[in-house]
Amino acid sequence: MTSVEPTEAVTGIPFVLNGTAVEANEGELLIEACERNGVHIPRFCYHNRMKPVGMCRMCLVEVDGGRGPALQPSCMLPVTPDMKVETESEPTKKAQDGVLEFLLANHPLDCPVCDKGGECPLQDNAYAFGAGETRFVEEKRHYEKPIPISDLVQLDRERCILCDRCTRFASEVADDPLIHFIDRGSQTQVNTFPDHPFSSYFSGNTVQICPVGALTATPYRFKARPWDLDAIESTAAADTSGARVVLQASQNELVRTLGVDSEAVNWSWLSDKDRFYYEATNSPDRVTEPLIRDGGELKPTRWGNAMRAAARALRIDPERVAAIGGARLTLESQYAWAKLLKGVLGTDHVDAQLGDSLPAALTLGLPRTTIAEACAPGQIIVLMGPDPKEVAPTLYIRLRHAVVEDGATLIEITPRATSLSKYATLRLQTAPGTVGQVLSALADGQLDTNVGTVQAPELERAHQLLTGDRQVSVVFGRANLAESARYSADALGGMRRLVPNAGYLPLLRRSNIHGALEMGLTPGFLPGGARNRGGLVDKWPSTPEFEGHDTDAILKAAAQGEIDTLVLLGADPLGDFPDSTLAEAAFANIKTLIAVDGLLNTSSARATIVLPAALFGEEDGTFCNLEGRLSPIRAKVTPPGLARPDWVIAADLSHAIGPELGYTTLEELRSQMRATVPALDDVDWDEIDGADDGPLFRPERNWELEFGDPAQMPPTSSYGYRLVVDHKLWDLGTMSQHSASLANLAGPAVLRLSPNDIQLLDLADRQQVTVDLGEESWELPFVADPQVAPRTAWIPARLPGFDVRELLSAGRSITNLRLRTGEVPADVE
């Protein structure tokens, strides 16, 4: 595909455009070559990130390839040498006029009530290239209007001009071909199969690329008119990929998010979470003023009171203060909070991750690659982590494209099949607890014996692929919350030995988590990855004098009464920490809980003091994505009520405690960050604001990462089913649950089993399976799922119906379940 190539200055194929000699790239399509040479050809179906189809005929131009001039679709025609192209000639104009007349024959003239009116390519092209009036007097086609084709997208078939953009996107880019042309012929329409809605994670993109008002997003319908919208470029913060977006607001309320074409990151595509979760910022549940617990109830108070109360609770022995969270914050706020917590208060019990991830030293220390490098043609991509489609959907689109279109080779080493499995050249099914030994065997060249569930020939093949001369990129993360993070870390150690020059892309949860880790919101590190007392931060009043706890250890310490004050920076340990029993025990023993957030969650609802924070779209700042790429987060609306940006709260709180953080504006804060973290000063900050892609923040780190001997595989249990727990895109997360359109998308928690095991367990006629763990039993609904391997059971986390954390415990290395049929067959119930 042509446009995916960067459009550089070219020496290439000469052709004549409207009488002027110009040049095209090798293999470039005429429509692109003309665009690059300053001539815009009208189009509907052509989209530079998808394959051309020549469906709408709007881009017809007169082309003379040596056999005389003829009308040809410029989106389907690669430029050949000395081609003569006329885009302004009479035949071209007549063709454009004619095509528009045909398109408008059935298109309703309901522009005044259409959401697309004012930004509609059909409207624009009709004005620019059409006849201005119609000769068509017959009745137009009529359909029921509109029909919902998913929870988020509505379809008005009368307006559709059958350009094939949405259907191509669904099958080509998103790989969810749930919408299709139906009744092809004179009655062609786009539609879904009855009762199979277009429930793609990427459905919102079809709304954005629809060249007419046929597809509209339910959250935006009739909310605003395009000419009323204020827009600003920003970065989506629903996941770690850092997709570039435009935020649009009307009357100081965010009403729409559109994808921006960033070559490095999202290629104009967004996940529906990135696109629609701005709704949470308009939620009526927003915390708009400081709250303080009084007589068991949270009551509004003034900032001054809240700050004094918080300062009192924090001015204690630093070892009795802890903070959890911070991934929601901007890079600037993360630095400010790190400075407050570590530099002013002197505690190191600070962790932005919630025990569902990998040690921060690995994420910070492994040599990082970029999405573009990992997805370059002919590369080898290794997935050793969760399903990218669930954790970072934009990355999934890039990885899938690399394998399907660019000949990259995918090797999957995961405990369950993912959305990318069908494209994998090789898939190593590692039962929970075995991945470390599998990678160790690969690194040691022990390829002749089976390791756990991985067969010797598979090891042989993997070894052959990984030790060849192709560049290897490893996408890594925590694939399973029900097995110890130790195994994933062991696996990375093995990979380091096996492929020393591999590049790494971390696949973590929580939006700006990489910024948080880089800014020191993790135990043992200061901003820039500096070790504690490393001497780097001499601008800070002090640095912690002890090695702090991670979230797991913080909660354990709190449960034993060793933590008095806990600060929550947008985190929800009660709802999100894998061991809910531990989190509950910890919360019971904390004296003062300070929550800094814009929306209350299960944990912050129990806070002693709530400090209202600005959210997405309400504050300026910087985002650091999984590549370490910095891009701007910008404010388009004002924070509601008395809410303030987190970096302002940090400064005020520090003032209330005593020492000043030393800045009064965002610019001063940035200067301080650049002075403290040398690698941040190496970044061209103008580029963050200016360029589409944003610069990479790449501190020099030649750390010798220490990997011990890999842990032994847990013994196989004769009746055990090993549990796999990971996250789905739609869950009970705070932002999703406060977005009206997204709140109901989280499916019920269901135990998933391989179809074979359902036969083996004699469950075929039942709806429930009995799960035994230790002394306890649960009755759970189950479904057959070919993504699940034999002898494993998969339950996604944080879904309504069943909290799978009941089965998890921080102390267990793997979780073995016993499954059996219940006493009563389902049909008797």
Partner 1 sequence: MSRLDASNVLLAREIIARYPRPKSAMIPLLHLSQQQNGHVTNEAMEHIAELIGVTPAEVLGTCSFYEMFKREPVGRYMVNICTNISCQLLGGEELLHHAEETLGIKPGGTTEDGLFTLEDVECIAACTEAPCLQINYRYENRVSLGRFDEIIAEVRGGKRADVPTHGTLARIRQHIDPDRLAGIEPPEVAGVPPWFASRQDEAKEETA
**Shortest Å, Cβ 473 to partner 1:** 24
Q: Nearest to residue 209, comparing CAs of 164, 274, 179, 147?
A: 164
Does 93 engage in binding with partner 1 (CB under 8 A)?
A: no
Q: Which is nearer to partner 1, 31 or 402 (CB)?
A: 402
Nearer to partner 1, 180 or 293 (CB): 180
Q: Based on CB atoms, which residue is closest to partner 1, 136 or 193? A: 193
Nearer Cβ to partner 1 (28/175): 175
* CB of 425 or CB of 809, closer to partner 1: 425
The nearest distance, CB 425 to partner 1, in angstroms, is: 13
Nearer to partner 1, 186 or 718 (CB): 186
Burial of 614 (0-12, 13-18, 19+ CB in 10 A): buried
User: What are the tokens at 586?
Assistant: 């910890």
Q: Is 59 left (phi over 0), alpha (psi -120 to 50) or beta?
A: alpha
Cβ of residue 201: shortest distance to partner 1, in angstroms? 15
Nearer to partner 1, 22 or 179 (CB): 179
Report the nearest approach of partner 1 to the CB of residue 193 (Å). 4
How open is the CA angle 510-513-514, to the nearest 5 degrees? Answer: 140
Are 201 and 271 in contact, with CB atoms under 8 Å apart? Answer: yes
| Those residues with Cβ within 8 angstroms of residue 125's Cβ, 6 or more apart along the chain or in another chain | 42, 44, 58, 100
How far, in Å, are 147, 169, 200 from residue 163 at the CA level?
19, 11, 20
* Segment interacting with partner 1 (CB under 8 A) among 170-178, 451-459, 580-588, 791-799: 170-178
Q: Which is nearer to partner 1, 101 or 176 (CB)?
A: 176
What's the min distance (Å) between Cβ of 186 and partner 1? Answer: 12
* Shortest CB 215 distance to partner 1, Å: 15
- Chain centre to alpha carbon of residue 20: 45
Q: Which is nearer to partner 1, 189 or 250 (CB)?
A: 189
User: In 200-271, which ranges are continuous DSSP H helix?
Assistant: 204-209
Per-residue H/E/C for 477-532: CCCCCCCCHHHHHHHHHHHHHHCCCCEEEECCCCCCHHHHHHCCCCCCEEHHHEEC
**Shortest separation between residue 176's beta carbon and partner 1, angstroms:** 8
* Closest distance to partner 1 from the beta carbon of 391 (Å): 24
Q: Per the structure block, which two tokens stand in for 568?
A: 């929550």
Q: How many CB atoms lie within 10 A of CB 68?
A: 8
d(CA 101, CA 133): 9
Rank residues 175 and 572 by Cβ distance to partner 1 and give the closer one.
175
Nearest approach in angstroms of CB 435 to partner 1 is 28
For the bound state, the minimum distance from the C-beta of residue 422 to partner 1, rounded and expressed in Å, comes to: 9
Integer Cα distance of 378 and 523 in angstroms: 39
C-beta closer to partner 1: residue 709 or 827 = 827
Q: How far is the CB of 127 from partner 1 (least distance, A)?
A: 34
Contact in structure between 368 and 698 (CB atoms under 8 Å): yes
Q: Do 375 and 398 meet the contact criterion of CB atoms below 8 Å apart?
A: yes
Q: How many residues does the chain have?
A: 829
CB of 150 to partner 1, least distance (A): 12
What are the Cα distances from residue 150, in Å, to 9, 200, 755?
43, 8, 28
Q: Look at the alpha carbons of 672, 673, 676, 681 in this order and tell me if their dihedral is positive or negative.
A: negative
Tokens 């298109």 belong to residue:
107
How far apart (Å, rounded) are the C-alpha atoms in residues 349 and 566? 10
Number of residues that bind partner 1 (CB under 8 A): 15
* DSSP SS3 for 557: helix
Instruction: List the x/- string, 130-169, binding to partner 1 by CB under 8 A.
Output: ----------------------------------------
Give the residue from 655, 633, 656, 657 showing the smallest Cα distance to 645: 633
Binding flags for partner 1, 172-201, as an x/- string (CB under 8 A): ----xxxxxxxxxx-----xxxx-x-----
Q: Which is nearer to partner 1, 196 or 225 (CB)?
A: 196
Give the footprint of partner 1 on this chain (CB under 8 A). 176-185, 191-194, 196
